[in-house]
Structure formats: structure tokens, C-alpha cells
A = this chain, B = another copy of it.
């Protein structure tokens, strides 16, 4: 194997193991619902392993997607740092997770770890972010503590930088608000030390599990009614707006001829738009607005 092949094999092994661990974790919350697996080939090269759990007791939908695609021309959306690589042969592999819980007190969460090679250049990207409907400070703090813990072994400044990048990336200009309370986001990561960068990616993937599990456990049995479900559906509209208008991962997938159903599994199941709706001042629904501006949570 070439050096490239050795690296790719190691990354892919981590990603496939991570996918299994994620599915095991989510199924552990479910008395009956199980992941459905779809293996798919991409006509232009590569393929993937899409796993979706639908209509669970705890999760309305949970999608855990592994893909490894190869292509002749890197889409422009793939790299902000290396525009000169657009159009070159590439390999992209990653795991994406989007979890939409049923209980509006449990936040939606997203995690992605990905690895690219184009020509002689390779880089990592990824991160995780949390989208609560009825935010609790305790959850937001424990989430960001896990994010900081994931980064701590790799340098004093990493969490602050990745957290800032996350706040900037998951932002809806037309709404003037962030998608949620953020977490970590990094892209074009290539420090020149592959082993270190790969270890950082693994730390991010691993810490997503330990960050999200306790939040689900704490909130999944909180009582709720139609008011909370209505608000959850309304807010899920913002999630759709972000993913379809701004998200580079979604655009990359659609541009590169990805499998549409695997890309759009990130969309929530039940969504509602209401013209010019505003929460009542002082209500729990209005409180969310205070969480959708970047802040130091630790």
C-alpha cells in the first residue's frame, strides 16, 4: 500500500467503527425501533452505508451515514481553503449523524467527521453542534465542556477556534440567529502531522457520543404536550432552511451526485412554517432566542 492508502484505510476503519458505536448507542434508548441499513453504490465511484432509525419511542428519526466516494472532479463546495483543487480527482469519506428526538425537551444533534484527499493534499473536517428547542443551561454547558475536552489534548487554542468557527458556520443571516448553541466545527485541517490530525478527528467523534448521551438521558422523559410539539415543528423549519440554503455538506452532496435520500436524511420528519409568527415575550419559547447568539458557555 502507498502512504495514502495506509492512511485512508486507517481513517475508514475508525469511521466504520464509529458508525457502529453510534447505532448501538441510539438503539440502546429504543425498546423496539431498530436501524434499517441501506448499502449503496455511487455510479461515478464509491458508495456508502446509510442507517436510519425512524419512528422510535425516543427518536423521531436518527440517521447515521457512512460514505466513501471517489470522483474525477472535486466540487467547489468541498474546500474553502483550496479552491485550486476544485475539478481535480478526489476521495472523500466520512460519517454524518443527525438525530431528531421526539420529545421537544431533547435537543436535535448533529455530528460529522470527514476526510478528503485531492492530488497530494489531504485534510480533515468535522465537528458537532446542538439544536435545542427548550434549552437548559446545564445541557449547553455539559455539551461545550465535552467539546472543550475533545480539543484539550491538541492545544490550548483549539476549542476556542473550533467553537468560533461553529458559531460562524451554523448561522442563518436571513434570520439573524445561529442554528443552535453550537459546539465545534473545523475544516481544511492539515497541520502537516497526519497522526495528530487523525487523533483530533477521533477525539471529536468519540466525544460526540459522550456529550449527547447524558442530555438524552436527562430530558427524554420530561413531560410535554401539543404546545411543545408545535414549537418543535416550527423550529425545525429553521433547521431545514439552514441545511437547504447554506450547508456546504448538503450542497457538496447534491453537487457531487450523492445519494439524495442519504443526504436529505438530515431533514426532520414533521416541519411547520407559520407566517411571521413570534413567541410571546417572556414565554419558554421566547427564551430560546437568548441561546441563539454566540456566547462563552464555560
Contact = CB atoms under 8 A, between A and B. Distances in A.
A227 interface: no
A174 B273 contact: no
B272 A270 contact: yes
Nearest to A265: B275
Contact of A274 (B244, B245, B269, B273): B269
Contact of A261 (B38, B63, B275): B275
Contacts of A260: 174-175
B273 A269 contact: yes
A272 B271 contact: yes
Interface in A230-267: 237, 240-241, 244-245, 254, 260-261, 263-265, 267
Nearest to A253: B174
Contact of A271 (B54, B174, B265, B271): B271
Given A174-B254, A244-B240, A244-B245, A273 B275 contact: no
Contact of A272 (B175, B263, B269): B269
Nearest to A38: B276
Nearest to A254: B174
A256 to B, nearest CB: 11
A241 B243 CA distance: 10
A63 B276 CA distance: 12
Interface residues of A, number: 29
Contacts of A97: none
A271 B274 contact: no
A85 interface: no
A52 interface: yes
A279 to B, nearest CB: 15
Nearest to A61: B275
Which 7 pairs, one residue from A and one from B, show the smallest C-beta to C-beta distance?
A: A244-B244, A267-B273, A261-B276, A271-B271, A174-B260, A52-B275, A174-B254
Given A63-B275, A271-B272, 18 more contacts: A38-B276, A52-B276, A54-B274, A54-B275, A174-B254, A237-B267, A240-B244, A240-B271, A241-B244, A241-B264, A244-B245, A245-B254, A261-B275, A264-B273, A265-B275, A269-B272, A271-B271, A271-B273
Interface of A: 38, 52, 54, 61, 63, 173-175, 237, 240-241, 244-245, 254, 260-261, 263-265, 267-276
18 contacts: A38-B276, A52-B275, A52-B276, A61-B275, A174-B254, A174-B263, A241-B244, A244-B244, A244-B245, A245-B254, A261-B276, A265-B275, A267-B273, A268-B273, A269-B272, A269-B273, A270-B271, A271-B273
